[in-house]
């Protein structure tokens, strides 16, 4: 059985895992409080990991047993959970404690790309903030690169998977689900969006841009 020869156990290779935060739970305060961050990562993000893996297990079992699943419902659910897991993983990575890697403005090629597309960093910030603040219901603001045109695009993602452009490289995301800010800001999403800029890890966003553009 070739499967038994695998060095890496199946659990780590074929299923999703919750990545640890690259900073302490309290380190993004006051933009995101310790309690808010802990709940968001340990409970909400983890629920998408568990949800995605559960659906993959159901698919595996159905294939093994030869039973049928409701494909429409199953795949819709899978897209939602996988989208949630991937976006949250990107989110933690593009944040850093204010003044310790977080905040400030983009530099180098990223700064040039933003200025070329939006005219100025301020204009980009305004468009991104408006997109994030204006998500209907739960969703995300995102900055992405179209590999065909080389243009940067602001995305307004609903839930975790609606309005996502296939094949675009996602560079920066902001979670505007209520679960991201309700303890700190209650219903005031706009203030959360404003504080987000104090903890953006622009070096990470630059690395993502660099990785997305073929050398």
Q: In the complex, which residues of this chain contact Mn ion (CB under 5 A)?
A: 44, 175, 177, 180
Closest CB to Mn ion among residues 96, 180: 180
Closest CB to Mn ion among residues 160, 208: 160
Tokens of 134: 């204006």
Closest CB to Mn ion among residues 118, 177: 177
The kind and range of the H/E element at 160 are none
Tokens of 92: 């933690």
Closest approach of Cβ 29 to Mn ion, in Å? Answer: 17
The label of the residue with tokens 């204009």 reads 123
Write down the H helix ranges in the chain.
10-14, 34-38, 46-65, 71-93, 108-118, 121-133, 182-185, 189-196, 202-212
Buried b (16+ CB within 10 A) or exposed e, 27-49: bbbebbbeebbebbbeeebeebb
Closest approach of Cβ 98 to Mn ion, in Å? Answer: 20
Closest approach of Cβ 92 to Mn ion, in Å? Answer: 10
Closest CB to Mn ion among residues 175, 184: 175
Closest approach of Cβ 2 to Mn ion, in Å? Answer: 38
> DSSP letter at 23?
S
Tokens of 141: 């603001």
Closest CB to Mn ion among residues 48, 202: 48
With beta carbons less than 8 A apart as the criterion, state whether 156 and 135 touch: yes
Closest approach of Cβ 177 to Mn ion, in Å? Answer: 5
Q: Which residue is nearest to Mn ion (CB)?
A: 175
With beta carbons less than 8 A apart as the criterion, state whether 75 and 104 touch: no
With beta carbons less than 8 A apart as the criterion, state whether 187 and 193 touch: no
Closest approach of Cβ 149 to Mn ion, in Å? Answer: 30
The kind and range of the H/E element at 39 are none
Closest CB to Mn ion among residues 92, 177: 177
């Amino acid at each position: 059985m070739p499967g038994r020869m695998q060095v890496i156990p199946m659990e780590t290779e074929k299923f999703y895992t919750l990545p640890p935060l690259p900073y302490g739970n309290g380190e993004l305060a006051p933009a995101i409080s310790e309690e808010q961050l802990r709940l968001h990562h340990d409970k909400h993000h983890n629920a998408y990991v568990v949800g995605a893996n559960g659906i993959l297990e159901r698919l595996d079992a159905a294939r093994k047993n030869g039973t049928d699943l409701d494909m429409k419902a199953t795949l819709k659910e899978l897209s939602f959970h996988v989208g949630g897991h991937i976006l949250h993983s990107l989110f933690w990575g593009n944040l850093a404690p204010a003044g310790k890697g977080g905040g400030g403005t983009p530099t180098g090629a990223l700064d040039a790309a933003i200025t070329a597309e939006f005219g100025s960093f301020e204009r980009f910030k305004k468009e991104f903030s408006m997109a994030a603040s204006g998500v209907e219901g739960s969703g995300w603001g995102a900055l992405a690169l179209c590999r065909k045109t080389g243009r940067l695009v602001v995305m307004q993602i609903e839930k975790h998977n609606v309005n996502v452009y296939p094949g675009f490289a996602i560079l920066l995301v902001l979670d505007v689900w209520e679960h991201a800010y309700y303890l700190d800001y209650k219903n005031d999403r706009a203030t959360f969006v404003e504080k987000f800029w104090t903890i953006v890890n622009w070096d990470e966003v630059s690395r993502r841009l660099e990785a997305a553009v073929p050398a």
